[in-house]
Amino acid sequence: MTAERWEPTAFKARVDEVLRRHVADEADGLAAVDPALGPVAEQLEAAVADGKRLRAAFCYWGWRAVGQPDSGALVRAAASMELVHAAAVVHDDLIDDSPLRHGRPTAHMALRGALEHHPRAAAGARSLAMLVGDLLMSLAGQLFVTSGLPAAYLGRARPLWAALARDLVAGECLEILHTGAAPDTTASLKVIRYKTAKYTVEQPLLIGGALAGAGGRLREGYSAYGLPLGEAFQLRDDLLGLFGDPGTTGKAGADDVHGHRPTALLAETWRLAGDEDRERLRALLGRRGSGGDALEAVREVMLRLKAPDRVEAMIAERVEEALRALGELNLPAAPAAALTALAHSATVRRS
């Protein structure tokens, strides 16, 4: 990656290497405490093995758009955003009892193998996974503060870290509180904003900008670009969760239906449905172990009511809003091009 050209593959490789080294060192230290901790250490490393590294990229370009040069220390700080994401994924999979992530067993499923002697192996594995997520969040903060950036720079961003953690927890809590309730699009969009949009796009941008000393107008522009784009990112996830190819997404396609989660896709389906379809949805949602028939029946209702088309329109509206806000910032060519490309890669994808 040069100063004038955004090369996502090269950037991802840089972030992957930072994460691999940082987490491997911590995993080795954990396993050194006792050999029994080996499976836990393995899940720590597995949690950062995959990823698009979008959050690190937004943090990086939040820094570069202020006029700061490429920096290895900044890449380390940006990589810490991916550890926040890894922690959130482990916890989210645990909350949702999801069996797969990236086509592999989730942490709480994989760790059952280490507890064959345990009288309650499934519960013990869930507890271990919770602790893996907690440690990943701790490692995120550690990587950030040891990135090599000047203390004054880090101090400017520290309040944003508190906001990031609070908003992420708020979004997860809201999702739990709304799960199983009557679907409502406004409530679903609020969950999306706090659970995903803020920590995926807006806050990494703001943290990168704060590290670089961004002014008020630029910070406002980051939020105007980041929030709608982050929402579009999660709306795409909603669609992929039910209509994507599990072989590509690496996730179990029935999770949202079996969990009766408050997705915008379900909320829009409910809004468009008449009494008969609502009664059918009530009978189908939240039925764990009901197999593929319930999933196909829900998909049929959604397609017939054109709810996926409505969510596609919501995505397009938000991407347009984000790009309009980006254009109004009059950024230099390189960050403007990179943030435009990131807007498309975050929302036009199959996984």
* The pLDDT value given to residue 90: 97
- Long-range pairs for 142-147: beta carbons < 8 A, 24 or more residues apart: 143/18, 143/22, 143/76, 143/77, 143/79, 143/80, 143/83, 144/77, 144/80, 146/76, 147/73, 147/74, 147/76, 147/77, 147/80
Rounded to an integer, the average pLDDT of 214-226 is 97
Residue-wise pLDDT tens digits, 98-134: 898 888 999 999 999 999 899 999 999 999 999 999 9
Distance CA 176, CA 174 (A): 5
Whether 16 has a pLDDT exceeding 50, the answer reads: yes
Phi/psi at 4 (5° precision): -110, -5
**322 with 225: CB under 8 angstroms?**
yes
Whether 3 is covered by a domain: the verdict is: no
* The pLDDT value given to residue 253: 62
Rounded to an integer, the average pLDDT of 279-299 is 81
Whether 45 has a pLDDT exceeding 60, the answer reads: yes
CATH number of the domain bearing residue 202: 1.10.600.10
Rounded to an integer, the average pLDDT of 273-301 is 85
Residue-wise pLDDT tens digits, 295-310: 899 999 999 999 999 9
Rounded to an integer, the average pLDDT of 221-236 is 98
- Domain tally for the chain? 1
Whether 39 has a pLDDT exceeding 90, the answer reads: yes
Whether 289 has a pLDDT exceeding 70, the answer reads: no
Whether 2 is covered by a domain: the verdict is: no
Whether 155 has a pLDDT exceeding 90, the answer reads: yes
CA distances from 55 to 19, 121, 207, 230 (A): 13, 34, 11, 10
| DSSP line for 166-235 | HHHHHHHHHHHHHTTSPP-HHHHHHHHIIIIIIIIIIHHHHHHHHHHT--HHHHHHHHHHHHHHHHHHHH
Band of pLDDT at residue 4, cut at 50, 70 and 90: low
CA atoms within 13 A on the CB side of 258: 15
Cβ neighbours, 10 Å, residue 300 = 12
Whether 1 is covered by a domain: the verdict is: no
Band of pLDDT at residue 294, cut at 50, 70 and 90: confident
Whether 125 is covered by a domain: the verdict is: yes
Whether 153 is covered by a domain: the verdict is: yes
Band of pLDDT at residue 6, cut at 50, 70 and 90: confident
Expressed as residue numbers, the domain containing 330 is 8-347
Distance CA 49, CA 56 (A): 15
Percent of the chain scoring above 90 in pLDDT? 84
* The pLDDT value given to residue 288: 62
Whether 2 has a pLDDT exceeding 50, the answer reads: no
Whether 32 is covered by a domain: the verdict is: yes
Whether 277 is covered by a domain: the verdict is: yes
Rounded to an integer, the average pLDDT of 78-89 is 97
Residue-wise pLDDT tens digits, 49-66: 999 999 999 999 999 999
Band of pLDDT at residue 1, cut at 50, 70 and 90: very low
Whether 337 is covered by a domain: the verdict is: yes
Rounded to an integer, the average pLDDT of 21-47 is 97
